[in-house]
Chains A and B, each alone.
Chain A
Amino acid sequence: MESSEEAAVEKCRVHLRPGTLRDAARATLHLLPCEVLVNRPAPVDRFFTPAIRQGPDGLEVSFRGRKLRGEEVVVPPGLVGYVMAMEEQGEVSMEKDFSEGDEREEQERAEPREALERDFDQFIGAIASFSRFTLWGLETIPGPDAKVRGALTWPSLAAAIHAQVPED
């Protein structure tokens, strides 16, 4: 959250609904090696999942006529994956989320109550959780050098370099 550069950035404040993290259902996720230029629900269960085959060296499927090879990626221990969605503006905020919200690492502590509900306040909540997902590569298995795998090593490194160093 940037609040100092109010001139440049449109002011906005994001609040997490902590309750949604507890209730989020497990989801099956696929990370494709392409960008679909739309954000909308897709019939994955009807078109994609039934077409997945176990090939000699990993999973195989095709998307838009191109061959994909995939493998499972496990979220590192100590972390949980969430699929987050922004609430539509104008949706009624549920106060109970804040009353029972205890500290979580991703959570922004609630502002004083009177500060909420301004038009720059937005709410996000988890709509699903995951501890593994299928990573797909275009014609090749993404393998250990895949960017995503590298990215998943960052949290532990970040924790290490930000940890308190004993003073002696």
Chain B
Amino acid sequence: MLLLVYLSASLPRGGHGGGRFPPTWPSIPRLGGLDPWPLGEVALFLRPGQAGAQPRGPGHGAGSGVHGPRESGAGAALQATGLFILQTNGLRLEALNPAAPTGGASGTPGRSLEGDPAHPVPPKELGGRPWELQFPGSRAAGVSVAAAETSTVAGASGACPGHRLVGSQSRFGAGGKRAPRTAPVDLVLAVGGGGRDGMDFSELDRDNTGRCRLSSPVPAVCRQEPCVLGVDEAGRGPVLGPMVYAICYCPLSRLGDLEALKVADSKTLSESERDRLFVKMEKDRDFVGWALDVLSPNLISTSMLGRVKYNLNSLSHDTATGLVQYALDQGVKVAQVFVDTVGLPETYQERLQQRFPGIEVTVKAKADALYPVVSAASICAKVARDQAVKSWHFVEKLQDLDADYGSGYPNDPKTKAWLRKHVEPVFGFPQFVRFSWRTAQSILEKEAEGVIWEDSLTGDQEGPGRIMSYFSKGPRTHPRLPHRYFQERGLESATIL
């Protein structure tokens, strides 16, 4: 089903087969990780195959020229639709996800396609891939969404990985009731469900036993100008749920704009304030980018309880390093890095500086309160952690699961009670729990069955013999061991059951 997004004012109701007002909110697929949708965010998906090519409406006449070369086929039809929207709303199309994902040099990052009738876009630019339309920096009132009555595009399957239409507000809402400046609207139109907005947790939902990386598109400007990058984490202390590491970056020249968002240490903000700030940052995606690593509690447990212990500090350092490297690999021109410390700042800073010699690295305690870019990272991390915990998909099939586990911190009585309630005598806890936490371990010691691992046997089986035994007269008595063949295969002869 092709749904087109318009301002109600720009569409005469009658002309659209009685387009549905109000929109059917509950059926709108969630595009980002924010729940509930921030006011005014609208996302609609175009399902390939039924996409309309030439929506009727005001501006259609004026826009007739935009259809460009009249090629038949899905690509052309989608292009026509796209350009129609472009032109009516004074938008331009930006490639979110340039064809070549690596490196700033390859691909055409930040390529813009203006909705210009004089320069029609070749159909291959739009056809066959999902695209998305966005009106940034606006908020919503008096906006309606109409299911446009459109002609059918056959086989418009597939997908351009994230084209984004960026609009100026000047012509937004033209034609009638202009949406008040103070309360404009965000409209997102996506084809084929290419949801790249906000945080898309679908990968985490699919498998939350390992680690998962989410990221925003890299703003074009960040590939051209020297950038400042902040690193912070959320969910380091809790015995429940994942730990999230986040980076946030923007050009040095735009740091003032980031500060203007009034980002602050995520710990000083309420959840709704954090969500609001994250939405703000998403709106500034033309110069702010982020990426994050979600480390599942299972990954944390298995790392810390490994044969070779991999402690949380090392895991944190390596994850932070990995994220900075990821930004570099994406072509972000990182000039400065600010990191909220884990462990001793001096050694951490030295380690990072050695790893990234060309970058000015600053590691400080409370960096999330000192540097706006670290505050921004801390907000990304915290929003993601909250979201991941809230929508956690338990791997286990649990019966009467109690969702009230408190803060997840070990000293929270609610969390402790939850842990006690969910002990399984053989398996211990669900994987949502970090088994390596002392709180979890001590509950297991008391309330679950004992487990002996092959590496927990410390050589007390054949301790050193008594010295006097070497001087005894009689024959040295060794228990007769079975043949090596049997020892090597763990075989013993049994005579009784």
By a beta-carbon cutoff of 8 Å, the part of chain A in contact with chain B is: 1-2, 9, 12, 14, 33-38, 40, 42-43, 45-48, 50-51, 53, 60, 62-67, 86, 122, 124, 138-139, 147-148, 150-151, 153-154
Contact = CB atoms under 8 A, between A and B. Distances in A.
A46 B398 contact: yes
Given A43-B424, A43-B427, A34 B397 contact: no
B261 interface: no
A12 B496 contact: yes
Given A2-B495, A47-B430, A64-B451, 7 more contacts: A38-B450, A43-B426, A50-B395, A60-B209, A62-B298, A65-B434, A66-B306
A35 B301 contact: no
Interface of B: 207, 209-210, 298, 301-302, 304-307, 395-399, 424-428, 430-431, 434-436, 440, 444, 449-455, 488-491, 495-497
Contacts of A2: 495-496
Contact of B424 (A1, A47, A150): A47
Contact of A40 (B209, B426, B450, B491): B426
Contact of B449 (A9, A38, A65): A38
Contact of A64 (B210, B395, B428, B454): B428
Q: Report which residue of A60, A62, A147 has the largest number of chain B beta carbons within 10 angstroms of its beta carbon.
A: A62
A9 B435 contact: no
A42 B430 CA distance: 14
10 contacts: A1-B496, A35-B452, A36-B450, A37-B452, A38-B450, A40-B425, A48-B427, A51-B396, A138-B455, A147-B490
Q: Report which residue of A62, A65, A66, A86 has the largest number of chain B beta carbons within 10 angstroms of its beta carbon.
A: A65
A150 to B, nearest CB: 4
A6 to B, nearest CB: 12
Contacts of B302: 62, 65-67
A64 B435 contact: yes
Nearest to B495: A2
A37 B427 contact: no
Contact of B497 (A33, A67, A122, A139): A122
Contact of A36 (B209, B440, B451): B451
B306 A67 contact: yes
A53 B426 contact: no
A20 B304 CA distance: 45
A62 B301 contact: yes
A36 B449 contact: yes
Contacts of B440: 65
Contacts of A124: 497
Contacts of B397: 45-47, 50
B2 to A, nearest CB: 38
Contacts of A139: 306-307
Given A37-B450, A65-B301, A47 B495 contact: no
